[in-house]
Amino acid sequence: MYLKPARCIVVLSLYFFFGPSVWSADVLQPEDLRKRLGIVEDKLPSDKALARISVAILDNGFQGYDAGKGLLPESTELIRGPGNDFAPTAHGLKMAQIIWAVTGKKSAGPKFYLVNTNGFTNFKAAVDFVIEKKVDIVLYSQVWEFGGNYDGKGFINAEVSRAIDADILWVNAAGDFGGNVYNGSVLTDLSSSDKTTLKPRGRTSLKFVNKFDENNVTLTLSWSDFKDSKDHSTVKDLDLLVFDSEKKQVGASQLRQIGEAPPNEESDLSSHAREQVVLKNLERGVYYVRIVAKSQNFKSKDKYRLAIYGNKPGSITFSDHSDGQEIFPPADHPEVLTVGDGDETTSKGPTADGRKKPDVIIQDSKVSFSNGSGATGSSTVAALMAAKVVFLKIKDPDLTQAKLLQQERGTTFASIQTGGIGGTGTPQPGELVQLISADPLLIPPDLIGLIPLGSQPFFHPNGHLVIVVPGDPFAMPWVRRLGVQRLNEDDFLAYSTWTKTWSAVPAKFRHVIRPPLVEFTPAGEPIASQN
């Protein structure tokens, strides 16, 4: 028997609370959001093109959605799912509204499906649904606190793989666990004396600070014994204990993992390699976490992970956290497009098997709404990226997840401030940083109206701005008039505002451009040919 999600499967939503209970706010300044993504204002998709695109927002709740309020296109459908009811949050609605605003807020579309994923039963059914409906794009602005071995596998990612195999484009938030995760090896951290208490960093406990009173703090311990099937029952057992500064126990999770599924909800058995403590209305102060090995069957390959999450943003300081390896399923899936923001709270990679995540960074995640509220974090930037994927899918109907990853992976969208370049600062040698917006003063007048939809401004390693044009720009009439010639079949076109020249650059340098470029004067005469 499989435990109900409320007891065993918990999806952690990476967002702050969107009140009030009935939501009717609009996204403000969508034109600025489009600039962040390099989308040209006068090149918005036609009604016909938008109507062909379907987007599924997989989320715990869409509180405040009303088909008659004009919050989303009239074609929007709300899918409840066979399991838990919607959670009381407007998070999913806000994600859909961001996409709709960026794509032009047209009644024609895109076609939105608001799909309930509150619990694994609903999550699995949601994957079945998007496959059946042949949805183009999935946005999942959430992560699971467990369910995988930190390497892109496990039963959560197995469901996502089904969607990707069905040619669905999947965009995922990276998560907001930055600085709040500890990764350890069970055998390495076991005390040599009693062989039960783990000693991470050589101590019997890990310390964290709760900075605010009346905070709800969730601690989740998981270890690397998950399979691609949710029905796998682990025989490896760890317990999780939490103490205050006076060494008084304030919380504990001591489920037994003995390789058997629990017979009912009241059972102290658990199938999963996971323990969780929820401390409600926690007083501010210093707290200590102790991890105990209840079974003696761990092997050298067995890893464990402790994640701490406070309901109040910025409320937790976890001084004993690890550096990196904070990506949870399905953000750690090797084929999803994982998106994070520039804030220190964004979960950082690499994954346990050494892959770099997130795939895309959008430095500025701030989105404002007409009721005075705002949204930030990896959820929001994932929604922004999903909106860009709508544009990419319209431009290339045959766009696949592999092509999407190849095109966007390794990109950082950074802000440009008036009068200079801001955001990420000076890039390291060989680093190519994509910009989310460009001040008009920094875009040459002769480029206005010439840059096609989807063009990408980059911050070149030698300090100047490069604008990369997608597709086959060499076939465009205005490029032929410039006289720029392709020297290799896979050359792409770039414009340097530093040298005021167009360049044909080999595709292998798309993400790592190093001087000298193959430069051409505006008149079309090549001044260098060093491909």
Q: Is the predicted pLDDT of residue 517 greater than 60, yes or no? A: no
Segment among 160-174, 241-255, 261-275, 513-527 with least mean pLDDT: 513-527
Q: What is the pLDDT of residues 280-331, one digit of tens each?
A: 999 999 999 999 999 999 999 999 999 999 988 889 999 999 998 999 999 9
Q: What is the pLDDT of residues 44-55, one digit of tens each?
A: 899 999 999 999
CATH of segment(s) 22-177+327-408: 3.40.50.200
Segment among 107-116, 178-187, 355-364, 438-447 with least mean pLDDT: 438-447
pLDDT at residue 135, rounded to an integer: 98
Q: Is the predicted pLDDT of residue 424 greater than 60, yes or no? A: no
DSSP-based helix, strand, coil % in the chain, nearest 5: 20, 25, 55
Confidence at 410, pLDDT banded by 50, 70, 90 = confident
Average pLDDT, stretch 238-249?
97
pLDDT at residue 243, rounded to an integer: 98
For residue 398, CA distances in Å to 42, 138, 407, 510 come to 24, 16, 14, 21
Segment among 44-58, 189-203, 433-447 with least mean pLDDT: 433-447
Per residue, the 3-state secondary structure of 107-159, as one string, reads CCECEEEEEECCCHHHHHHHHHHHHHHCCCEEEECEEECCCCCCCCCCHHHHH
For residue 521, CA distances in Å to 153, 470, 500, 503 come to 50, 20, 8, 9
Dihedral of CA atoms 278, 59, 363, 517 in degrees, nearest 10, equals 130
Average pLDDT, stretch 414-434?
33
Q: Is the predicted pLDDT of residue 522 greater than 60, yes or no? A: no
How far apart CA 266 and CA 9 sit, in angstroms, is 15
How far apart CA 100 and CA 67 sit, in angstroms, is 14
CATH of segment(s) 181-317: 2.60.120.380
Report the residue count for the chain.
531
Confidence at 203, pLDDT banded by 50, 70, 90 = very high
Over the chain, what is the mean pLDDT? Answer: 80
What is the pTM assigned to this prediction?
0.76
Q: Percent of the chain at pLDDT above 90?
A: 61
Average pLDDT, stretch 191-210?
89
Q: Is the predicted pLDDT of residue 257 greater than 90, yes or no? A: yes
Q: Is the predicted pLDDT of residue 111 greater than 60, yes or no? A: yes
pLDDT at residue 291, rounded to an integer: 97
Q: Which residue has the tokens 């949601």?
A: 126
How far apart CA 11 and CA 37 sit, in angstroms, is 29
Residue pair 355/334 in contact (Cβ under 8 Å)? The answer is: yes
Domain boundaries along the sequence of the chain: 22-177+327-408, 181-317, 415-520
